[in-house]
Structure 1
Amino acid sequence: MSKFGFYLFILVSFFSIGTAVAQKADSIKIDTNTLNKYRINPPKNALPVRIRPVLITPQPIPITPIDFQISYWRKSVVAGLNLNQSTFSNNWSGGGVSSFALGANFDFKAEYNKQPFSYTTELLFLYGISKNKGQYSRKTNDRIFYDNKIATQLSKKWYFFGSVSFESQFDVGYQYTDGKDPLLISKFMSPGYFTESIGFEYKPVKYIDIRLGTGTARQTFMLDTTIYHNISGNYGVPPGGRFRNELAFQVVSTINKDIATNMNLQARYALFIPYNNFDRITHRLDATLNARVNRLINVTLNGTVLYDITTNKSVQASQGLALGVIYKFPN
């Protein structure tokens, strides 16, 4: 065998042995689960690791206390002034009389409400006067009204209450008759009324209040004994007397509601039924519609309907419409 043949034989033999070894290695089975285990969760590092604890120290934060007080009071003040004036020259062909009218009102209300007790007070002043050319000035409105009520809650809508009220006028009042001098028929505390009442109060909604005074007493005062109102029999007080007391059942219903934007309706109805004389039942309704033009200018429509046989045997009524300045606090 030549050298070339020998070397070729050796090369072929070496190539055959390598191929056989490679085929044997490919046939070895490998556990892939173990392999993936080590890939996902490698063994722990054998080197020591130092862990330092984190120290958290609380630090106080200064808080300034809020300075406030809870107020159980709600107060309001309404003051108004109305002016009406007209002037005509002496040769005005349409005819007319120069006149001047002035009206003022003041209304203070305060309410204290801390369950189960409540207290309400109201002070109302009304006065108006007019002057026509060639005549004396005359009153158009005159009233003093002061009401106080304390109540304790019995249920969601019912209360037990006690109240005291006072009513009179500022100025003298005259009865005018054509062709005769004016007749003085009233003045301050002639008449004047004090009314004390206890009973139950019903409040179906926030803006309606109904009092049922099962135990009510009213005192009528005539401090000026020279006054005699012959139309009514001197307001129920015997002529020359100063005082009269009556026990009665009383109903007082009030409403105070905003019926439209910038428009408020207030009304108060009082029914007085004497226990010993049903012929002297008294009805009085006072209503005021207030429309706000802007922050200061208001239009006010008010009216009163009264039936009281101690002042007149017929139904009495008064009505007024005014445009004026009014201030309300809080505004």
Structure 2
Amino acid sequence: MFKTTPGLLFLILLGAALSASAQKTDSLKVDTNQLNKYRIEPVKNALPFRFREVQIHRHEVPVTMLDYRVSYWHKSILFGLNFSQSAFSSNYSAGGISAIALGGNFDYKIEYNKAPLDFTSELALLYGISKNKGQGSRKTNDRIFWDNKIASQLSKHWFFFGSLTFESQFDKGFNYTTDSVGRSVSQLISNFMSPGYLTESVGFEFKPSKFFDLRLGTGTARQTFVLDTTIYHNQPSNYGVPIGKRMLNELAFQAVAVFDKDLSKSTHLNARYALFVPYQQGLSYTSHRVDAVFTSKVSRLIAFTMNGTFLYDKNTSSKVQGTEGLALGVVYKFP
């Protein structure tokens, strides 16, 4: 037992010495700055890099001019057509008369607007006819209206204008009465250019907006024509034209107000009022005329139209005259 103790003691001392040596080695401090001296830097690109100066040169490139044109003309066309028909058998208990009615209107308007010049020409044609069984055909509407105006702008809303207006009708007009025995009697009271009106006017125009304008014709002349002499016996006043003559010339003051506007996307109102005050006659011969057309679209091509005319002219009647019509038909406007 004592023989093995010195050997074991030797082994223990040897292990302790080795452990102490290892601890001293791990605790040594390393200087990193010294290590950086020996760091290997990456090799830079040895190829040369050249900068080239950018040069800008001016070159003429041929360009074809675009064919753009400015148009100061504005055109519009409105065409309307309405038709109605009714038929009854001879033994229909509620009664009634077979009838056919046809009506149409055509409106053409052209404008030129380039300050200070303004030109407007408007043509309105209206005609309607109905045929009742046993009564023949009779007119329901008949008018020719052509208005031309040229104006020069004086200020923002005022213009100096000159205008030429023509009015008449297409066909003969009759007054239907019954005689003592109950028979229908027709009397011719109008025809083409009987009467017919040609009006020249100069003055000032007030135009505060695109849909309203007012003309004040301080210098106005109107010629009234009655070319059909067969209506003399039926019209003693002869529309103001003396018996035996075919034309009457008058000097007067004229005022014309026009309202033309879309009230909504589907409704439109056009109204015109004309005042005529003759200088050579009393104020009782002042004439007033109102023409109005109201249009309401049902679809793109179908529209409801209502038109009316109210007239007071002592040369044609001592009472107020009026006409009114309702129609549902085809209306086409372009563009």
2:262: which partner in 1?
258
Offset, 1:59: 4.4
- CA contact 1:274–1:280 (8 Å) conserved in 2: yes
1:110-139 CA-to-partner distances (Å, cap 9, x unmatched) read 000110001100111110001111102100
Offset, 1:100: 0.7
Offset, 1:257: 0.7
1:14-163 to 2 correspondence within 5 Å? Answer: 52-163=52-163
* Aligned counterpart for 1:183 among listed residues 181, 187, 193: 187
Letter in 2 for 1:142: D
1:296: which partner in 2?
301
1:328 corresponds to 2:333? yes
The alignment partner of 1:63 has SS state of coil
2:284: which partner in 1?
279
Residues of 1 paired with 2:334 and 2:244: CA distance? 45
- CA contact 1:222–1:243 (8 Å) conserved in 2: yes
Q: TM-score, normalised by structure 1?
A: 0.82
Residues of 1 paired with 2:236 and 2:308: CA distance? 22
Moved more, 276-285 or 105-114: 276-285
Offset, 1:58: 3.3
Residues of 2 paired with 1:50 and 1:64: CA distance? 42
1:226: which partner in 2?
230
The alignment partner of 2:56 has SS state of coil
Moved more, 148-157 or 54-63: 54-63
1:238: which partner in 2?
242
| CA 1:49–1:99: 2 relative to 1, 3 Å | closer
Residues of 2 paired with 1:260 and 1:268: CA distance? 19
Residues of 1 paired with 2:162 and 2:314: CA distance? 27
Q: TM-score, normalised by structure 2?
A: 0.81
1:307 corresponds to 2:307? no
Structure 1 residue ranges, 4+ long, deviating more than 6 angstroms after superposition: none
| CA 1:246–1:63: 2 relative to 1, 3 Å | same
What is the RMSD of the two structures over their aligned residues, measured on CA atoms?
Answer: 1.6
| CA 1:49–1:297: 2 relative to 1, 3 Å | closer
1:159-178 to 2 correspondence within 5 Å? Answer: 159-178=159-178
The alignment partner of 1:279 has SS state of helix
1:196: which partner in 2?
200
- Length, aligned pairs only: 283
Consecutive unaligned residues in structure 2, runs of 5 or more: 1-47
- CA contact 1:220–1:245 (8 Å) conserved in 2: yes
